[in-house]
Amino acid sequence: MSKIIDSIKFGLLPPDEVRKLSAVEIQTSDTYDEDGAPIAGGLMDHRLGTLEPRQRCQTCGNIALNCPGHFGHIELAVPVIHVEFAKQIYRLLTATCRGCGRILLPDEGNDSIEYFKTASSTSSGRGRRTSSSSAR
């Protein structure tokens, strides 16, 4: 019996979900101490998985061969924009009114979502304001 994948969806997790799924918070960029042991809260923390054949992972308890590895997270001082989304964020910001936050539509009334996917900054000053658009 074969299984067919209908679809794959990629997305981002909200920060609280990332913290919940994370095995450890990375608090230092250091890897090993003077004795050669991984530093807790560092980039080589044992809770992220183990590389040594006979050691057990502190998160799942498996040896290196069976441990899938676990991810950690870094708490940033300020929010940052992911570079992959910079263009889309710019388009969304130029398609909304700075005063009220409503979507700016061109005078001809094309209110489809396709317009906003391909829109450039040309509609930022000429459009009319509306409270919603049909996005389906």
The residue ranges of every structural domain in the chain are: 13-78, 83-130
Task: Output the pLDDT for position 123.
Answer: 38
> Tell me, what's the pLDDT at 82?
83
- CATH T-level assignment (fold) for domain 13-78: DNA Excision Repair, Uvrb; Chain A (4.10.860)
Tokens read off for 119:
């829109």
The count of C-alpha atoms lying within 13 angstroms of the C-alpha of 72, restricted to the half-sphere facing its C-beta, is 19
Give the Å distances, CA to CA, from 87 to 92, 108, 116, 118, 124. 9, 25, 12, 11, 15
Q: How is residue 81 written in tokens?
A: 């924009």
User: Cα angle vertex 67, ends 66, 71, to 5°?
Assistant: 160
Residue 60 has a pLDDT of 93
pTM value is: 0.55
Residue whose token pair is 């889309």: 88
What end-to-end distance do the CA atoms of the chain give, in Å? 36
Per-residue pLDDT of the chain (136 residues; tens, 9 = 90+): 677 878 877 778 888 999 999 999 999 989 999 998 888 999 999 899 988 888 899 999 999 899 999 999 999 999 888 888 888 888 888 888 888 888 887 665 555 556 555 544 343 444 433 333 333 3
pLDDT at 110: 52
